[in-house]
Structure 1
Amino acid sequence: MRQLILFLLLAGTFTACTPEAPAEEGTAETSSDVAVTTDENEQEAAWTDITSDEARIATALLAAPEASRSGAKVIGYNAAGELVTLREGTNEFICLADDPGKDGFNAACYHRDLEPFMARGRELKAEGKTPPEIDAIREAEVKDKTLAMAPTGATLHIYYGPEVRYDPTTGEVEQAKYRYVVYMPYATAASTGLPESPVAPNHPWIMDPGTHRAHIMISPL
C-alpha cells in the first residue's frame, strides 16, 4: 500500500511539470500572414495619383530645400494643359511641377537667377525646336549677351522617379529620389578639379565642361 501511494504521488508531480503544448504552427503562420497583408494594404493605400493642382504643387515643393518650401513659387501645367503659375512665391526659388503629359515623375526647383535661361528653353520647346536646336540657340544668345545666364553657383534641385503617385500626407512621391546641379558656365575639369564622369557612386562630376551649360552633377545615394 505504501508503495502504491508513493507511485501516485510521483505520477502527480511529473504531470504538473510537463510543459504546455506549443501553439499549432499553422495558427501562428496564419496570424503572421494576416499582419503582413494588412501592412502591405495600408502601405499601398497611402499612394494616390497626382491629378490635381494641389497635388502638383505639393510634390513640386519637395524638390526645394526644406527650409525654402513655404516661400517657393510653383509653375506647372494645369488641368487644361496650360503652363501657368500654380502658386506665387516670396523667396529665391522657383519650382517646376511635374508635366502630366510625360511618363514618370519629374519636378525641379531652381534659383530665380536661372529663370531667363529656363524660360527661354520652354519657349523654344513650345515652338517645336529639338533639344540640340534649343542648346545651340541659347548658347548663341548667351554669348551675344541677349540671354542672361545665371552666375556661377546657381543651383537646380531635381526630384524624379518612375511613378506618378504620392502620399497626400507627406507629399512624398513613390520611388522618387534627388539629383542636384550647380551651374558653372564655361567651367572645365581643369578649372574645377572635377572629373568629367562620376568615378564612384555619389561622387560629384562636371557635365558639359567648357560650355555655357557647364554644371556640377551630384546624385546622392
Structure 2
Amino acid sequence: MKRLITTIFLSVVLISCNSSGKDKNETDTSSATEAAIDSASIDRKNNYVPIDTQEALIATSLMAAPAASRAGCKVIGYNAAGELVTLKEGDNEFIVLADDPNNATFSAACYHKSMEPFMARGRELRAEGKTAPEIFDIREEEAKSGKLDMGKPGATLHIYYGPNNRYDPETNKVEGAKYRYVVYLPFATSESTGLPENPVGPNHPWIMNPGTHRAHIMISPLPEKE
C-alpha cells in the first residue's frame, strides 16, 4: 500500500514539473515572438535609405508639391557640374526645384510657374556671387520699375525641408522633413491684409517683408506626429 501511494505521489510531481516547464517554454517563445514583431514594426516605421538616385531625388522633391498635382509638375535641379537642368518635364501650373544632392540636409521647393522670372533672377544673381541683401535690393528696384515680373498676386511657394537626406522608398517621405507655405503678395502690408508682422503662435499665418516686393504670408504648419 505504501509503495502504491509513493508511486502515485511521484507521478503527480513529475506531471507537475513537466507542465511547469512547458508553460515556461511557451511564455519564453511568446515573449520572443512579440519582441520580433515589435522590432519588425519599428523597422517598417524607420525604413529610411539614402537619396542616391535621380529617381529618388525626383520622387522626394515632388513631395513639396500638392499631392494631386505631383504627376504634372516640372522638376528642375542642379547636376554634378552645378548646371540647372530639367529632371522631369511637366504640364501643369507648378515648377519644383529639387533638393541639392551635394547638401547633407534636404530642401525642395514647389512654386507657381508665374513666379519663374522672380525665382530665376534670384538664381542668376546668386550665381554672380551677390549676397542675400544685394539680391533683395536689386530685385526690389527691378520690381518697382516693372522690369521684374513678380508673378500673379497670391502665387504660392511650397517648401519641404529637413535635417536629413534619407527617405522611405515606400512613401517618399524624407526623414524629419516638414512643410512651410508662402503666399506672395508684393508690396502688401499688415494694414492691407490684416495680418500681424510677427507670428503670434505656432501654426499661425503672418506677413513677412511687408511693403516690399518680397511681401509674403508665412504659414508653418506644426510637424506631423510620428
> TM above 0.5, one fold?
yes
Alignment of 1:161-180 (within 5 A): 161-180=162-181
Shift of 1:101: 2.9
Alignment of 1:132-211 (within 5 A): 132-211=133-212
Shift of 1:39: 3.1
SS in 2 for 1:62: helix
Alpha-carbon RMSD across the aligned residues, in angstroms, is: 2.8
Shift of 1:136: 0.8
Q: Deviation digits for residues 31-85 of structure 1, max 9, x if unmatched?
A: 44333333334444x2121122211111111111111111100000124432111
Q: TM-score, normalised by structure 2?
A: 0.83
Distance in 2 (alpha carbons) for counterparts of 1:62 and 1:186: 30
Alignment of 1:19-98 (within 5 A): 23=24, 29-44=31-46, 46-98=47-99
Distance in 2 (alpha carbons) for counterparts of 1:205 and 1:212: 16
SS in 2 for 1:157: strand
Distance in 1 (alpha carbons) for counterparts of 2:102 and 2:148: 28
User: Is 1:75–1:95's contact at 8 Å kept on the other side of the alignment?
Assistant: yes
Shift of 1:216: 0.4
Moved runs in structure 1, 4+ residues, more than 6 A?
none
Distance in 1 (alpha carbons) for counterparts of 2:36 and 2:67: 37
Q: Deviation digits for residues 125-169 of structure 1, max 9, x if unmatched?
A: 011111111111111111111111122100000001111011222
SS in 1 for 2:64: coil
Distance in 1 (alpha carbons) for counterparts of 2:34 and 2:168: 26
Query: Which residue type is aligned with residue 35 of structure 2?
Result: D
Query: Which residue type is aligned with residue 148 of structure 1?
Result: D
Distance in 2 (alpha carbons) for counterparts of 1:219 and 1:204: 7
Distance in 1 (alpha carbons) for counterparts of 2:213 and 2:44: 48
Q: Deviation digits for residues 201-220 of structure 1, max 9, x if unmatched?
A: 11111111111100001111
Percent identity of the aligned residues?
63
Q: TM-score, normalised by structure 1?
A: 0.85
Query: Which residue type is aligned with residue 132 of structure 2?
Result: P
Distance in 2 (alpha carbons) for counterparts of 1:157 and 1:206: 16
Q: Deviation digits for residues 2-28 of structure 1, max 9, x if unmatched?
A: xxxxxx9xxx9xxxxxxx756476665
Unaligned runs of 5+ in 2: 1-7, 13-18
Shift of 1:171: 1.4
Distance in 2 (alpha carbons) for counterparts of 1:220 and 1:88: 29
